[in-house]
Copies of this chain bind each other. A is one copy, B any other.
Amino acid sequence: MGAPIDFYFDFSSPYGYFAGAKIDALAQRHGRTVLWRPFLLGVVFKTTGNAPLTDQPLKGKYALRDFSRCAAYYGVPFKMPSRFPIATLAPARAVYWAQAIDRPKASLLARALFHAYFAEDRDIADASVTTQVAGGVGFDPAQAAAALRDPAIKERLRQETQAAIDHGVFGSPFIIVDGEPFWGVDRLEQVERWLKTGGW
């Protein structure tokens, strides 16, 4: 089995959500696992000078249309959240905390958090909502709540976000396969071919 695929994403990214719905099965088809690596895109944007898509002239209006169209294209349930974008410290911290306990279940939690935000319009920026979702996939909600306030977990997310920047990550989703970087859900076909052929 090859090295895990690094899957960088921000929980406020619709394209990250679409990719997250596909990435585990894709990796599995090629004997790989996926390391889910949430980071804070807002911090990255301070480095790159970028702004959220929906704040950009022309592109913002297009993006809203493209989100819904892509959701249908990828066959993923989607409802534009009432609050968008959001600060994603709580869900990101929850995933790093969960990974130390049970990595496969942490991936399940990540998918459940994405689903809560983009399919059920639940505000996962709210620590209590993130905690409920963690409870829903079998983690202890009280432990999850404590973890979100744990300075070590907060520091971990800071480090992961810096590590993402150090690896050249500037958007979400961002997938690294054996050192090869792929940006965007629309690169999943290329990721798949890369895994199949070992590059080209």
Residues of A whose CB lies within 8 Å of any CB of B are 47-50, 56-59, 61-62, 65-66, 69-70, 72-73, 165, 168-171, 181, 183-184, 186-187, 189-190, 193, 200
Contacts and interface: CB of A to CB of B under 8 A. Distances in A.
Contacts of A183: 62, 66
B168 A73 contact: no
Contacts of A168: 58, 61-62
User: Majority SS of interface residues in chain A?
Assistant: helix
A189 B70 CA distance: 11
Given A57-B47, A65-B181, A73 B170 contact: no
Nearest to A187: B186
Nearest to A194: B69
B181 A184 contact: no
> Copies of this chain, how many?
2
Contacts of A170: 56-59, 62
A83 B72 CA distance: 40
A61 to B, nearest CB: 7
A171 to B, nearest CB: 8
A168 B66 CA distance: 13
A65 B176 CA distance: 13
Contacts of A193: 73
Contacts of A187: 186
Given A73-B190, A73-B193, A184-B186, A56 B48 contact: yes
Contacts of A66: 183
A179 B148 CA distance: 46
Contacts of A186: 184, 186-187
21 contacts: A47-B57, A47-B58, A48-B57, A56-B170, A57-B170, A58-B165, A58-B168, A58-B170, A59-B171, A62-B168, A62-B170, A62-B181, A62-B183, A69-B190, A70-B190, A72-B200, A73-B189, A73-B190, A73-B193, A184-B186, A186-B186
